[in-house]
């Protein structure tokens, strides 16, 4: 056990003392952090876990006490905080088939029974402390999505649908690509759903191994590398057809006060209200007489699917050969108030045009290229709201050996540096018709 893990264990041991003396510590924070470690609850929105922390009761039992009796109703979901309880099979079960076993910290029972009778006896083996979520709060265990506790799917942003994952088992999720949408990046969402809601991602590093297939679902398997008092670390393997497509490492931190400075300065660019979005630019080009009629007719026939991210470019097309790019962006629609969701959305948006900046100095008429992400890193410096305007400042200081390197910085409208990013990508000329077809881009 390392020092941080030792602190985490000590923190959970101290939870009992905090419950006994609420004025002696942050009662609500301690309860919320504990509930965030219960596997049953980790796929819930952070808002649901916070409300559960407000609603749970504390019950204590002496050794030999019945916590639940066979044939009697239970009054809620029981989660063991401290101690052990024994589960015994119904009395009419044959002796050799009686599967008695012990429940420990984070284990639970009573889930899904509502007011129906309990099927087994649960008896305290030692001094036992349980959190109990009364049955009237059972709806908190059944949110609309993993991010949203109350609104219906029609009321939340498309990005919440994109970043929705289907929980298969503990720490295993499945993600789908919606038809007509850009490449998705769901691995960070998978990692975030296995960390208590008081910790948010502060850095991630992804390494892409083979090209993925956008037409197939991806299985995300999360490994809990470390859980400490202040930090947690997760490793995610994204798999298709049994093969690992890419690996992501993410580190999470609980909010704390500390030293602060910022040397980076936001560039002097026009505000987003003075700039055109992609749809407006497209409309102008379709009606601009300076463009050849053949080009305008061809562009009008192409199917246009708006991205779930709204972008407004700070420079016109005359600067497209520079190894740099500045643009404002934000998520379309209103996002749920979950800090983890907002960071997942910004991570999603960070790679839409990122690696292409390293190709800008090499663009010429008739040249077709393609790129594949090799690795991608992000550092989150400050809280971020993905449905508010953010300025993305991208530069490519180098390209060599078929690889392009880009760096990025994101600023909010107040000029605060909220994120720093780096990426290296494979950049090549597109293959000629007689060569092997281009492989799909992998997903972050």
Question: Which residues are the active-site residues?
Answer: 351, 373, 423
Rounded CA separation 320/361 (Å):
8
On the CB side of 285, how many CA atoms lie within 13 Å of its CA? Answer: 16
C-alpha radius of gyration, the chain, whole number: 26
Rounded CA separation 65/347 (Å):
50
Rounded CA separation 157/24 (Å):
41
Task: Tell me how far CA of residue 229 lies from CA of 8, 73, 190, 224, 312, in angstroms.
Answer: 4, 37, 21, 14, 41
Query: Residue 263 — φ and ψ, nearest 5°?
Result: -90, -25
Distance from CA of residue 153 to its chain's centroid? Answer: 18
Rounded CA separation 125/129 (Å):
11
Neighbouring residues of 228: CB distance < 8 A, sequence distance ≥ 6: 2, 4, 5, 7, 8
Rounded CA separation 414/219 (Å):
39
Task: Tell me how far CA of residue 63 lies from CA of 20, 71, 105, in angstroms.
Answer: 19, 21, 16
Distance from CA of residue 433 to its chain's centroid? Answer: 39
Task: Tell me how far CA of residue 211 lies from CA of 248, 440, 444, in angstroms.
Answer: 15, 6, 11
Closest CA to 421 of 370, 361, 318, 348: 348
Would you state the structure tokens that stand for residue 13, as one six-digit string? 């041991």
E strand spans, 37-183: 57-61, 66-68, 76-82, 85-88, 101-103, 108-109, 121-124, 128-134, 166-169, 172-175
Rounded CA separation 248/190 (Å):
10
Residue 24, helix vs strand vs coil:
helix
* DSSP per-residue string spanning 249-265: EEEEEE-----------
């Amino acid at each position: 056990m390392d020092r941080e893990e030792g602190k985490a264990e000590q923190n959970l041991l101290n939870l009992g003392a905090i419950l006994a003396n609420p004025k002696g510590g942050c009662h609500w924070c301690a309860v919320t952090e504990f509930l965030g470690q219960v596997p049953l609850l980790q796929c819930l929105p952070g808002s649901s876990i916070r409300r559960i922390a407000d609603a749970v009761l504390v019950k204590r039992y002496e050794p030999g006490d019945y916590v639940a009796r066979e044939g009697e109703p239970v009054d809620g979901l029981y989660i063991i905080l401290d101690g052990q309880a024994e589960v015994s099979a119904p009395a009419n079960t044959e002796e050799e088939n009686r599967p008695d076993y012990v429940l420990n910290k984070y284990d639970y029972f009573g889930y899904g029974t509502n007011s129906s009778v309990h099927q087994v006896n649960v008896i305290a083996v030692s001094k036992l402390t349980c959190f109990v979520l009364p049955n009237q709060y059972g709806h908190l265990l059944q949110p609309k999505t993993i991010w949203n506790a109350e609104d219906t799917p029609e009321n939340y942003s498309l990005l919440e649908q994109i970043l929705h994952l289907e929980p298969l088992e503990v720490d295993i999720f499945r993600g789908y690509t919606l038809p007509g949408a850009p490449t998705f990046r769901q691995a960070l969402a998978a990692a975030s759903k296995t960390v208590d809601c008081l910790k948010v991602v502060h850095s991630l590093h992804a390494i892409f191994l083979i090209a993925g297939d956008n037409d197939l679902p991806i299985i995300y398997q999360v490994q809990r590398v470390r859980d400490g008092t202040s930090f947690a670390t997760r490793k995610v393997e994204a798999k298709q057809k049994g093969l690992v497509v890419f690996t992501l490492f993410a580190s999470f931190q609980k909010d704390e006060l500390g030293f602060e400075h910022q040397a980076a300065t936001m560039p002097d660019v026009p505000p987003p209200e003075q700039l055109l979005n992609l749809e407006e630019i497209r409309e102008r080009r379709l009606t601009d007489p300076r463009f050849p009629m053949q080009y305008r007719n061809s562009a009008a026939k192409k199917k246009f699917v708006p991205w779930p991210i709204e972008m407004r470019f700070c420079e016109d097309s005359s600067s497209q050969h520079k190894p740099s790019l500045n643009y404002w962006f934000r998520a379309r629609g209103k996002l749920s108030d979950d800090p983890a969701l907002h960071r997942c959305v910004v991570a999603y948006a960070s790679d839409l045009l990122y690696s292409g900046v390293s190709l800008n100095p090499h663009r010429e008429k008739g040249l077709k290229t393609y790129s594949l992400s090799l690795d991608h890193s992000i550092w989150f410096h400050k809280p971020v709201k993905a449905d508010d305007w953010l300025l993305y400042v991208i530069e490519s200081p180098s390209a060599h050996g078929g690889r392009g390197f880009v760096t990025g910085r994101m600023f909010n409208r107040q000029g605060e540096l909220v994120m720093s990013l780096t990426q290296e990508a494979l950049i090549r000329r597109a293959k000629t018709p007689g060569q092997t077809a281009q492989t799909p881009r992998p997903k972050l």
